[in-house]
Chain A
Amino acid sequence: MKGDRSRQNMAVTKKAKLKKNDEPKKVLKTAATEKGEGSKRYSLWNFWISTLFLKLLLIPDYFSTDFDVHRNWLAITNKLPISEWYYEHTSQWTLDYPPFFAYFEWFLSQFVPKSVRDDGCLDIVEIGKFGLPTIVFQRLTVIFSEILLFVILQIYINTTKLSERSQSFVVASSIVLSPGFLIIDHIHFQYNGFLFAILIGSIVAAKNKRYILCAVLYTTAICFKHIFLYLAPCYFVFLLRAYVLNVNNFKFKSYKDFLFLIRWANLLKLATVVVGIFTICFLPFAHQMPQVLSRLFPFSRGLTHAYWAPNFWALYSFMDKILTTVMLKLPYVHTFATKFIKPPLIPQNIKEINERLAANNNGSKGLVQDVFFVILPQIPPKLTFILTIFYQVLAVLPLLFDPSFKRFVGSLTLCGLASFLFGWHVHEKAIMLVIIPFTFLVGFDRRLLVPFMLVASAGYVSLYPLLYKGQDFFIKTLYTYVWCIIYFAAFRKTTKISSSVERRIFFLDRLALTYIFSLLPIVTVLQILDEVKWRYSFLQKFEFLGLMIYSVYCSLGIISSWFALSWLYNFDELLWQ
């Protein structure tokens, strides 16, 4: 017996020794490999897996009316012939996206299993009636279509040169983990991850100087969602200057030399692909173009969306309310103002102010389709277009002289900002059109970091009212907060130190940080006020005070970011070389 035990012990000891001997070899191997920078893979795989788990757990969460919008579109494209897609109006959620997105919905509808069909998913009804099967199916379509975003960003990482790969990895991972996509796509319910993937594909193609592919992807993106038209001036000038015009070799000798200014072959190729894609998209609707266009561009809507997007017009509306309140309480202010501003630019007297208030009943409401200003002049759509175009032209002009990728992305960001700040009927979700291009830009210089931090934090916080239910408060707030902590630190680490001789303006940097850190207590206080407003009558009088605070405070951040970026874009030469 004893002998047996001792033998077993010896065997165990031998095995242990063997194991110990094995370990140093492994360590040495890894040590040797760890020296190689190329061994880092910069894969987004783990990010996709971990966020997949999170998105699955969000399936039973709140969703907005956009969920029924897309359910209705599934039904329309599945049940009706193409000729009726843009005429169907049983439900108020009529199809108002471009035809490529309609095709996409049709494609998704081919995968609807029987249990989901029986649940009412594909019924064309005035108000959707559906249960858990439909919810699971539609949530899964968002999750799987978003894979395109991961693939395109992985390609972006892989096509970057090795010395810049860690920076591009930070850019890519910050986008795939964006709080915006989590809030808007996986809770509120939309397909932005999939749609922005196409836009990002065009940006990546531009970076790699594959201009035809860039044009193809951008045109496709427009045909999926026409909001991307806001960036059209930038793409037009960039492709014109980088691909069509032959400025470097141009020498004037006679007027016919202007013919050689244009690379006709390239122009022909570019025009062919753009027109070709538009043709593929709209040809089946050739006889319905007026109807389709009226669906895509409904100009009967008001200046601001139901909830104030944090843009210039939010500040304008806020100023109008302030002036109204001040003039009602302090009549001499009105008297003083009329000395400089004559009616009808300003109301004639206090009585007229009260009449305007009574007629439009907008003293306490924020949820109206048409915004009416009491003191300040009304804003027609034409003015918003003029302002938007003006600032977009300012953003695009430098591209004519310097069609580098850096200038391109800067221009993209400013075009997005101009359309967001001054556009007609801007949705708060449009802030993604600013943040995504800016993410590709921020790595080029340390001084771009503060404007980026401002627009990202203010932009994401401005999405919070989309999820007004208390159950999402911790999720949206903590997720955004930890994202900001990680990626502001990561960008700071990977961005280049400024090459400019101009010194940083430290005071404004600290002011910006103060602004950003103030967002958290403001959000928390507003949430608590929202929870207890039922028991304080004076809070009920200002039921949209919270929304106003979100709107105004966030717009301050975004406008500040716009000022900073515009300054750097237009006056800092070294940054763009």
Chain B
Amino acid sequence: MAIGKRLLVNKPAEESFYASPMYDFLYPFRPVGNQWLPEYIIFVCAVILRCTIGLGPYSGKGSPPLYGDFEAQRHWMEITQHLPLSKWYWYDLQYWGLDYPPLTAFHSYLLGLIGSFFNPSWFALEKSRGFESPDNGLKTYMRSTVIISDILFYFPAVIYFTKWLGRYRNQSPIGQSIAASAILFQPSLMLIDHGHFQYNSVMLGLTAYAINNLLDEYYAMAAVCFVLSICFKQMALYYAPIFFAYLLSRSLLFPKFNIARLTVIAFATLATFAIIFAPLYFLGGGLKNIHQCIHRIFPFARGIFEDKVANFWCVTNVFVKYKERFTIQQLQLYSLIATVIGFLPAMIMTLLHPKKHLLPYVLIACSMSFFLFSFQVHEKTILIPLLPITLLYSSTDWNVLSLVSWINNVALFTLWPLLKKDGLHLQYAVSFLLSNWLIGNFSFITPRFLPKSLTPGPSISSINSDYRRRSLLPYNVVWKSFIIGTYIAMGFYHFLDQFVAPPSKYPDLWVLLNCAVGFICFSIFWLWSYYKIFTSGSKSMKDL
């Protein structure tokens, strides 16, 4: 009885990934004295995995004259090294002109400073364009900066989040570690940052820090972290309505009117913005420079969407040719209206019910609205709604975990055209298989031809030999059928993409098929997040 009770107490918290390979690997560290070790091991394994993904090609490799995102980042390090601050946002805008907020520019400046110490020719003004060193020295350095940025910003924030939740729920430390590893091994962010080449982990890590501060009720610090996130990449604005509503609600309504808190939050926000933009003003030539910066950050002169992306405008463009029917200004207005309508319920709900356990869901609903309906969305932007989605791997609800796992696979699927262009086929396949295998999604596969001693199953954990973990699929038959259908559709797409040439009249047909599948899945998931918002109001963090 005592044993049973103890198991009952512990089991629900660890039920999430029970009998998965992840659980099996971390099982030996359950004893209390080993608490620090699994986190350390997960940390190191996540870094090693990112390093190996980084061995592949990067965006724009060997593709003159403009190359790709790798060259863009390198170029920004180049111009911030050699030009005065007053020229950063003006210099040769046709060649990867700087179009990110100042914190990214400062980040590039710092990295360029360190890199020039190792080899100045990597960042020589103009002469280093398209630099591809034969010994891969530049690539190695650049890859290292992404990894270190990831380690400093994203890893600690994620680990803190899972620890906070674990303590709140009296979850076993091993359960916390398993959740942290599921989040850190999410493939999309790894492939875009360490394969394609970007620094999204800094922006996402800062946002995660902001969420952690909201959980700890350090509202001013949350505001600071979120502003830093926006100042690193303007895409973090996808979360802004929720942060605004939550902080406002906590200051004015819940638990009571608190003008001091509101004042402090407002001051922290304005002060952080001021500190970030001050160098542009005082060292860069005043308001003119700030105006140019903002103009570069928000390029409204471009079209409603760029390339193919799994959002509303791109998919419906098959039926309605927006460019032919409407002006750019009209499209901007329509997308703004659609986006606001999309996130308004979540914002209102946050204002009226600023609950901590609803934070991931309202952030999902809001950022997914921006992704689906906003102006000038890129396929990589899916990483922004994916942050709160992936944090839900810390949930203990089987249905939630199932949908999180599924939508992560869908997101990775929608990134395939981009990764294919980069030449990251191997990394795409391996990270998809690895991330799903670790959380037990392939446990239903049992090679029968192997001797019993070699058959898959737990190595170390004391689990019944006959126990076969179910794949992460919802209990509901309709959901299950739909998800399996989407997996079949994705498999069919990859078959077409590999073996069948698209019709010459419609060369982008397969890519559009990819976008359509993604859009359907994202839309349904978005609606599901609203369902969770409106049905979880009375629950608590324990029920995340």
| CA A221 to CA B25, docked complex, whole Å | 33
On whether the beta carbons of B37 and A34 are closer than 8 Å, the reply is no
On whether the beta carbons of A46 and B21 are closer than 8 Å, the reply is yes
Mask: chain B, 108-140; 1 = CB below 8 Å from A; 0 = not: 000000000111000000000000000111011
Residue A259 CB within 8 A of the other chain: no
Residue B52 CB within 8 A of the other chain: yes
Least Cβ–Cβ distance between B507 and chain A, in angstroms: 25
| CA A564 to CA B136, docked complex, whole Å | 43
Residue B56 CB within 8 A of the other chain: yes
On whether the beta carbons of A57 and B427 are closer than 8 Å, the reply is yes
On whether the beta carbons of A31 and B7 are closer than 8 Å, the reply is yes
Least Cβ–Cβ distance between B138 and chain A, in angstroms: 10
On whether the beta carbons of B426 and A59 are closer than 8 Å, the reply is yes
Residue A469 CB within 8 A of the other chain: yes
* A147 nearest in chain B by CB position: B454
List the A side residues contacting B222 at CB < 8 Å.
Answer: none
Knowing A56-B426, A532-B118, say if A31 contacts B55 (CB, 8 Å): no
List the A side residues contacting B48 at CB < 8 Å.
Answer: 54, 474-475, 478-479, 482
Surface stretch bound by B, among A35-43, A95-103, A295-303, A436-444: A35-43
Within 8 A of A (CB), among B391-437: 426-427, 430, 433-434, 437
On whether the beta carbons of A28 and B4 are closer than 8 Å, the reply is yes
The one of A57, A469, A490, A531 in contact with B430, judged by C-beta atoms closer than 8 angstroms, is A57
Residue A87 CB within 8 A of the other chain: no
List the A side residues contacting B4 at CB < 8 Å.
Answer: 24, 27-28, 31
| CA A49 to CA B436, docked complex, whole Å | 12
Surface stretch bound by A, among B256-264, B459-467, B511-519: B459-467
On whether the beta carbons of A169 and B465 are closer than 8 Å, the reply is no
Mask: chain A, 136-180; 1 = CB below 8 Å from B; 0 = not: 000000000000000100110110000000000100010000000
On whether the beta carbons of B137 and A470 are closer than 8 Å, the reply is yes
On whether the beta carbons of B456 and A489 are closer than 8 Å, the reply is no
On whether the beta carbons of B24 and A57 are closer than 8 Å, the reply is no
* A43 nearest in chain B by CB position: B459
| CA A465 to CA B404, docked complex, whole Å | 43
Least Cβ–Cβ distance between A85 and chain B, in angstroms: 34
Residue B47 CB within 8 A of the other chain: yes
On whether the beta carbons of A475 and B51 are closer than 8 Å, the reply is yes
| CA A471 to CA B138, docked complex, whole Å | 10
- The listed residue with most A CB atoms (<10 A of its CB), out of B40, B54, B459, B475, is B459
How many residues of chain B are within 8 Å of chain A by beta carbon?
58
On whether the beta carbons of A46 and B25 are closer than 8 Å, the reply is yes
On whether the beta carbons of B459 and A531 are closer than 8 Å, the reply is no
| CA A532 to CA B116, docked complex, whole Å | 11
The one of A39, A49, A58, A151 in contact with B437, judged by C-beta atoms closer than 8 angstroms, is A49
On whether the beta carbons of B41 and A482 are closer than 8 Å, the reply is yes
| CA A419 to CA B136, docked complex, whole Å | 37
On whether the beta carbons of B52 and A54 are closer than 8 Å, the reply is yes
Interface class of chain B by DSSP: helix
* B4 nearest in chain A by CB position: A31
List the B side residues contacting A489 at CB < 8 Å.
Answer: 37
Residue A486 CB within 8 A of the other chain: yes
List the A side residues contacting B45 at CB < 8 Å.
Answer: 482
Within 8 A of B (CB), among A3-47: 19, 24, 27-31, 33-34, 36, 39-47
* B139 nearest in chain A by CB position: A471
Knowing A24-B8, A30-B467, A44-B459, say if A56 contacts B453 (CB, 8 Å): no
Residue B180 CB within 8 A of the other chain: no
| CA A151 to CA B21, docked complex, whole Å | 19
Knowing A45-B457, A60-B56, say if A485 contacts B40 (CB, 8 Å): yes
- The listed residue with most B CB atoms (<10 A of its CB), out of A46, A155, A475, A532, is A46
* A58 nearest in chain B by CB position: B52
Residue B458 CB within 8 A of the other chain: yes
On whether the beta carbons of B462 and A46 are closer than 8 Å, the reply is no
On whether the beta carbons of B41 and A471 are closer than 8 Å, the reply is no
List the A side residues contacting B426 at CB < 8 Å.
Answer: 56-57, 59-60
On whether the beta carbons of B8 and A169 are closer than 8 Å, the reply is no
Residue A248 CB within 8 A of the other chain: no
The one of B53, B119, B455 in contact with A43, judged by C-beta atoms closer than 8 angstroms, is B455
- Which A residues have a C-beta under 8 Å from some C-beta of B? 19, 24, 27-31, 33-34, 36, 39-47, 49-50, 53-54, 56-61, 151, 154-155, 157-158, 169, 173, 469-471, 474-475, 478-479, 481-482, 485-486, 489-490, 531-532, 534
- 13 A-B pairs, CB-CB below 8 angstroms? A27-B4, A33-B463, A40-B459, A40-B461, A42-B460, A43-B457, A44-B459, A59-B426, A154-B453, A469-B140, A470-B136, A470-B137, A486-B37
- Which B residues have a C-beta under 8 Å from some C-beta of A? 3-4, 7-8, 11, 21, 24-25, 28, 37, 40-41, 44-45, 47-49, 51-57, 117-119, 135-137, 139-141, 143-144, 147, 426-427, 430, 433-434, 437-438, 453-465, 467, 475
Instruction: Name 13 extra pairs, CB < 8 A, besides A27-B4, A532-B118.
Output: A19-B475, A29-B464, A31-B4, A43-B453, A54-B49, A54-B52, A57-B49, A57-B55, A58-B55, A154-B454, A469-B136, A470-B136, A471-B139
